[in-house]
Structure 1
Amino acid sequence: MDLATVWAWTVERYPTRRAVGGPHPMTFAEWDARTARLAHALLGLGVRRGDRVALVLTGGEPAASLHLAAQRLGAVATPLSPRFGVPELAHCLADAAPALVISEPATAENTDAALRDERIRPVAHLDLDDVGRRARDQPDTPPSDPPGPDDVSVMLYTSGTTGRPKGVPRTHRAEHAAAVAHLVQTGGRTGDVALGVMPLFHTMGVRTLLASIVVGGTWVPQARFDAAEAAELIARERVTSLYLVPTMYWSLLRDADPAGLAGVRRLAYAGAPMAPALAKQLVEAVAPEAFVNHFGSTEIYTFTIGPDVAAKPGCAGRAGMFSRVRLVDPSPGASPDAEVAPGDQGQVVVSMASPEAFRGYWLRPDATAKAVRDGWYFTGDLAVADDEGDLWVSGRVDDMINTGGENVYPDEIEAALVCCPEVADVVVVGLPDERWGQAVTAFVVPGPDVTPEEAVAAADAWARRVLPSLRRPKRVIALDAVPRSAVGKTLRRVLVGGDYTALADTAAVPRERALRSDRGSP
């Protein structure tokens, strides 16, 4: 099914139901008229079916309405992160070759600079408000040439945590299947109220929006995440469903009144592992009816679903309703038939037969050939299956640390260190080392009222208490903040590349002082 039809059917069912919440609410009938006018405005600007429309926008209702307008027109929404620097933005614009670029005051300067790149053909660049003004006098009837299920709906760009972003075109059929899977797998219900804060350049943001439309729910926009504002919206708008990354949940519990979350009935997370300590706090604060770990990607929305985070914190569960998953030999070039023995760590591979799957990277047959082999998508994620057949993600193939000839993965070390009372955040990487090849190194953010020196000493002592020797960091460094992408993915490559300012470092702490801290630590 195409999304223009999905939209029309929902509007027909619930014309007077509130579709958009927040300070400027709209019913489905009102949102239908607005997105139709925007679609005709895009048409008047020369956008045709199949053309890409680059949206360099922060978020909120204007971005969502343009995304839907593109769906109704049969154009390809191409949202780009407002956090991209000029080089990344220029790369994406040159790669996508859009028919139109739309920015806003906060992103206009970088967009203008990126568009001067010699690789980019001349293209119209409009301000968001200008497009809105052009839409006012347009008809509120549907465009006459709607898309088909196999037309491309959206092109998302991967986060680029390990290299230049790659375009991931996704069809209307795949987007609809992913929205339906999301609703079933998270326990979504007709009339749900969802907080729309995840950015629309990320699969989680698109999924929240489309799932809300499919189920006839209310989407409550928040253009930029702010914990206090989010808590206020959740309470005032009576939000029933949250789908966020773990860092956002941490912020809600730390910076906002947890009592405001009491009306939320369904929690889901994705994008990064969740520490068991955070899962426990959320269960205590919210007592949700459903708490789901969604493990997937931009390329194939669902790999596996952990349906009960309260019972098995951190567990990624089993294959989703439209998925088929295997654990195979993580060696480069291994066959999808090379399944590992029960209990052994393997790379997660997912069948490309899933209706949620992409068809390949945009203009990158080399990347497609590397990621897709013999009908299976090689995710780059490592996991182990427990005795019940549920997966536990143990890291990324690219994040593996080879220290002293042994392979170590950061996730399990991070899960231990984040429980240290003096630490607010942590990331573990392997830094080059003459003796070890790579030295396990922990970067920590001090907790409230904890000095950087106290934080590194406490984390170092904690590691010696709770981790076996091979996994103990050889070095602990304090930072102001862990570098992360706009959707909370840890940017380990930034730290490995040396792009950080150390506030304190155990490399500068005499061993005797560290041992004294160890004896006095909890």
Structure 2
Amino acid sequence: MNLFNNLCEYLDYHAGMRGDLMLASDSKKTVNYAEAQAFVDKIAAGLQAEGISKGDRVGILAKNSVDNFCFFLASARIGAVAVGLNYRLSLDEIEFIASDAQVKLLCFDNEFAELRGPHLLSTPNVCLDGDAANAKSFESWLSSAGELKPVSVMPEDILFHMYTSGTTGRPKGVLISHGNVMINTYQAPLSSGVWTRAGERSLIIAPNFHAVGLVGSLMGVIYGSSLIIHRDYDPVGMIETLSKEKINTVAVIPVMLQFSMMMVPNIKEYDFSDLHTINYGASPIPESLLRDCMDAFGCDFVQGYGQTEATMALCFLTAADHLKALNTQPELLRSCGRAVAGTQIKIVDDEGNEVPRGEIGEIIAHGPQIMQGYWNNPEATAKTIVDGWLYTGDAGLMNEEGYVFIKDRVKDMIISGGENIYPIEIENHLMSHPQIQDVAVIGIPDEKWGEVPLAVLVSGEHAQITAEELEAFCRTKLAGFKIPRKLEYVPGLPRNPSGKILKKDLRALFADKYAI
């Protein structure tokens, strides 16, 4: 049961209860809750004036900002569904997502104007930061908005439609409801022990086209906190903001902490007395980095594990767990924690049978935060949600205390700098090259990014391509973070009797060469 029917009712509540309290601030604009409520309603009226109605998709191709976030909330206000577009993708990738989602209006930052393909250009376009071709400026667009017509929005209505790549190489649209987000933002503090209080200041760095950035921002609206929004991650800027803006919480990935520690050698001269929690995810944190960060920041550390299909959080490794790991159980730092409140986690074999504690299998989850399904993809939905259980695609084990340890990705996903990379997408593109006979892409360790893609190639009839040629070929269709950083040649790829590439054999083959 939820206190309210939708996310915007929380905004309305805080606007009435603490309207003068700052909701969000970026380098250009600051709004309190009362101002944000009026601003969101104005944008919502503008959407209605464009013919956007409940269930329609609104594309957002922009970096973090007050305007970006309020545009999202305005979509939610009228029951429209926001589709965050990853500006790190190529034009072709963004065009596919926009077309698949049937986006009916786009708001965008001017710097991404060239990423608009035919579908997006065929819709009304609103430029958030100035003038752009085939678009109205945000200010002029707002000036034509009329009166907002109330819309009934309920917990089961879809709040956002976020794309995640799949093993087929085609991105899939994950459907997350208002109720999914509201319940997950209750589960998270109840399980992690970290409660966001009204007026607390959260630093938002993760982009809003990712669940961590978006749901983290929405948690602020639910609990009445204040969001300090960064447009990009800046290693030095993050440290300065944490100190100068008296930040209480921030969500990062370990590599961000590593970069900031390297770039700010005098970090102990900064005042972090207001910082009480650093939340991190995407990968475990090395013990040495954790100790250095705890010494520098003097705050608690909490790790979260989840995926877009589970709204945000499935497990937490709490601050107490981190202290236990440093004092008596160092192996806990390799765990992603225990299940959040109201959620069951099981480890199962290929037949869906639960395996004994300590044995590796696929991690599956059951709880009220599980997605409503994939957009227009019932087959993929049926494979991913079976009898109400989400099959995460992650392989892991659970110990006797209920701690989950991720051992590998069942679907061979690579996580590089917090971005999910699915090898088959890269493989499909590389196989179109005339000089490549066969290819497999695996992840190799990297000190900066955690993992980067390695392309293992079987050459065709012509000469072998170079790393530079491979990069140039990939850059035409793939986002930069998906381009393999290394390549290797083999006479043939190892396969099982059914023809599936044995990627574990490839990882073993190159493990020593790329060990760090």
Question: Shared fold by TM > 0.5?
Answer: yes
**AA in 1 matched with 2:83:** T
Q: Which runs of 5+ in 1 are unaligned?
A: 117-121, 402-409, 435-478, 500-513
Which residue in the other structure is 1:317 paired with?
337
Shift of residue 299, structure 1, vs aligned partner:
0.7
Quick check: 1:347 aligned with 2:362?
yes
Structure 1 197/426 Cα, relative in aligned 2: closer, same or farther at 3 Å? closer
Whole-Å separation in 2 of the counterparts to 1:284 and 1:277: 11
Aligned to 1:107: 112
Kindly provide the CA deviation profile for residues 208-263 of structure 1, in whole angstroms up to 9, marking residues without a partner as x.
11111111110011111111222222222111001112222222222235344623
2:501 alignment partner in structure 1: none
Q: Which amino acid aligns with 2:294?
A: V
List runs of 5+ in structure 2 lacking aligned partners: 130-136, 326-332, 415-441, 459-470, 490-511
Q: Quote the offset at 1:138 in angstroms.
A: 4.4
What's the offset of the Cα at 1:26?
1.7
Which amino acid is 1:212 matched to? G
Q: Which residue of structure 2 aligns with residue 77 of structure 1?
A: 82
Structure 1 equivalent of residue 507 of structure 2:
none
Paired residue secondary structure (2:139): helix
Match of 1:296 among 300, 303, 306: 306
Inter-partner Cα distance in structure 2 for 1:138 and 1:428: 46
Matched residue, 1:359: 372
Corresponding residue for 2:201? 193
- How is 1:103-502 mapped onto 2 (pairs within 5 angstroms)? 103-112=108-117, 115=120, 122-129=122-129, 130-136=137-143, 138=145, 143-159=149-165, 163-186=169-192, 187-190=194-197, 191-256=199-264, 257-259=266-268, 260=270, 262=272, 263-288=274-299, 290-300=300-310, 301-308=312-319, 309-312=322-325, 313-329=333-349, 331=350, 334-335=351-352, 338-351=353-366, 354-399=367-412, 414=445, 424=448, 427=451, 432=456, 491=482, 494=484
Give the superposed CA RMSD: 3.3
1:156 counterpart letter in structure 2: M
Change (3 A) 1:225 1:424: closer
SS of equivalent residue, structure 1 residue 63: helix
Secondary structure in 1 matching 2:125: strand
CA distance in 2, matches of 1:247, 1:114: 36
Q: Deviations over 1:171-193 (max 9, x none)?
A: 11111112222333441231221
Q: Does the Cα contact within 8 Å between 1:36 and 1:143 map onto a contact in 2?
A: no
User: What code does the residue aligned with 1:346 have?
Assistant: G
CA distance in 2, matches of 1:162, 1:279: 37
- TM-aligned CA deviation for residue 277 of structure 1: 2.7
Alpha carbons 1:344, 1:384 under 8 Å: kept: yes
Distance 1:431 1:18, change over 3 A: closer
* Residue 16, structure 1, aligned to residue 31, structure 2: no
Q: Partners of 1:225 and 1:51 in 2: how far apart?
A: 31
Name the CA shift for 1:498/1:66 in 2 (closer, same or farther; >3 Å). Answer: farther
For residues 469-491 of structure 1, the C-alpha deviation after alignment (integer angstroms, 9 at most, x for no partner) is xxxxxxxxxx9xxx9xx999x85
Question: In the alignment, is the contact (CA less than 8 A) between 1:315 and 1:391 conserved in 2?
Answer: yes
Q: How far apart are the structure 1 equivalents of 2:167 and 2:18?
A: 41
Residue 105 (structure 2) pairs with residue 90 (structure 1): no
2:252 maps to amino acid: L
How far apart in 1 are the matches of 2:39 and 2:407?
A: 45
SS in 2 for 1:107: helix
The 8 Å contact of residues 92 and 117 in structure 2, kept in 1 or not, is answered as no
Residue 31 of structure 2 corresponds to which residue in structure 1?
26
- Measured in 1, the distance between the counterparts of 2:384 and 2:184 equals 20
Contact 1:20 / 1:218 at 8 angstroms: preserved in 2? yes
Structure 2 SS opposite 1:166: strand
* TM-score, L = length of structure 1: 0.74
Structure-2 change in CA distance of 1:196 and 1:159 (3 Å): farther
Residues 298 and 192 (structure 1), Cα distance of their counterparts in 2 relative to 1, 3 Å cut = same
**1:99 is paired with a residue of what secondary structure?**
strand
> TM-score, with normalisation over the residues of structure 2?
0.74
Shift of 1:427: 3.0
The offset of 1:50, in angstroms, is: 1.3
Aligned partner letter, 1:13? M
Paired positions, count: 423
Aligned to 1:43: 48
Residue deviations 1:101-157 (CA, integer Å, cap 9, x gap) = 1222111111145647xxxxx422232242333224646x76411411111111111
Shift of 1:160: 5.7
What is the CA–CA distance in structure 2 between the aligned matches of 1:428 and 1:22, rounded to whole Å? 32
In structure 2, C-alpha distance between the alignment counterparts of 1:194 and 1:249, rounded to whole Å: 16
Mapped to 1, the partners of 2:47 and 2:120 lie a distance apart of 20
Q: 1:314 Cα deviation (Å)? A: 3.1
Change (3 A) 1:164 1:275: farther
Cα distance in 2 for residues equivalent to 1:296 and 1:235 = 29
Conservation of the 8 A alpha-carbon contact between 1:196 and 1:221: yes
SS of residue paired to 2:324: coil
Instruction: Pick closer, same or farther for the CA change 1:208–1:30 going to 2, 3 Å.
Output: same
Q: Within 1, Cα distance between the matches of 2:145 and 2:118?
A: 31
Given that 1:385 and 1:392 are in contact with CA atoms closer than 8 Å, whether structure 2 keeps it comes out as: yes
Contact persistence 1:197–1:225 (CA under 8 A): yes
Amino acid at match of 2:24: V
**Contact conserved, 1:192 with 1:215, CA < 8 A, in 2?**
no
Indicate the residue corresponding to 2:6 in structure 1: 2
Q: CA separation in 1, counterparts of 2:239 and 2:288? A: 21
- Matches of 1:52 and 1:193, distance apart in 2: 31
Conserved 8 A contact 1:240-1:266: yes
Q: Structure 1 residues 430 and 54 mapped into 2: Cα distance closer, same or farther (>3 Å)?
A: closer
CA apart distance, 1:426: 5.2
What letter is aligned with 1:201? Answer: F
CA gap of 1:114–1:247, structure 2 versus 1, over 3 A, is: farther
